[in-house]
Structure formats: structure tokens, C-alpha cells
Amino acid sequence: MIEIAVVGAHLSGLALNHELTTRGGALLRAVATEPCYRFFALAGGPPRRPGLLRTAAGEGFAIATEVWALPPEGFAAFVAAVPPPLCIGTLLLADGSRPKGFLAEPEGLRGAEEISRHGGWRAFLASIAEQKEAVP
């Protein structure tokens, strides 16, 4: 099994999670990244997608992830379907593990909203829902 960390629409219960489960994926753990990332809501969609960009140590934020395990053939099919500006790289997680995971190409951040302060995709989505409820 190959580990892959997800940070957005592939999280449990969200719009693209089926892309993991239908390829034999199993949820292993929820863990934050080390605080060396900036997090963005990318332009476009649906579904809405985030982008994670690594920064220098101490200049970023810890971002919530889920780590999934996929069989090699499922991992290959999953990674082959990743659209630009997203890409797969090595994430630095707070538990010391270094799984493959989603990153964003810097060019793909044009028009994106930085959402690092939320600490994760679910918290960002909750903030959007709260804003909608607050509008009369």
C-alpha cells in the first residue's frame, strides 16, 4: 500500500472522496502538516479545490490532512488523473511521516484566495457556510 495525504475535496465525506474509495483506498489517520505551508482556495470549480504550497520552515501554517493508503495500481490510476495546477509531491507531516500528497504549482495560484488562517479545508468550508447563514 502507498500512502497519500489529501487536503481538500478528497477528504472523507467530501465530493471527490469516492476517487480514493473506489480505487481500494483506506483511511489511515488524520494529521496536520508541519507549519511550512500556505493554503489556497483555487479559482474555478465545481467542486471547489484547495492548493497547498510549501514555504520555508517557520513561515507557514499547519494544515489538516487525511492520510490514505492505496494499492499500487489504485495509486497509479489516482495520480494519473490529478489535473493541473495540482501535482503530487512529498508532504511533511507533524507526526514525522513523509507521504506523497497534493501540492499546487505556483502558476495555479493566480486568482486564488489564501485560506491558511483556517488551518484546513473543512474549517474553510464551515466559514463559507457561516457567512451564507449570516446574510439575511
Whether 10 shows a pLDDT value over 90: the answer reads yes
HSE on the CB side for 3, CA within 13 Å? Answer: 16
Q: Give me the pLDDT at residue 36, please.
A: 96
Domain extent listing, the chain: 2-134
125/1 Cα distance (integer angstroms): 30
Whether 45 shows a pLDDT value over 80: the answer reads no
pTM of the model: 0.91
2-134 to CATH, choices 3.30.1330.10, 2.60.120.10, 3.30.470.20, 3.10.490.10: 3.10.490.10
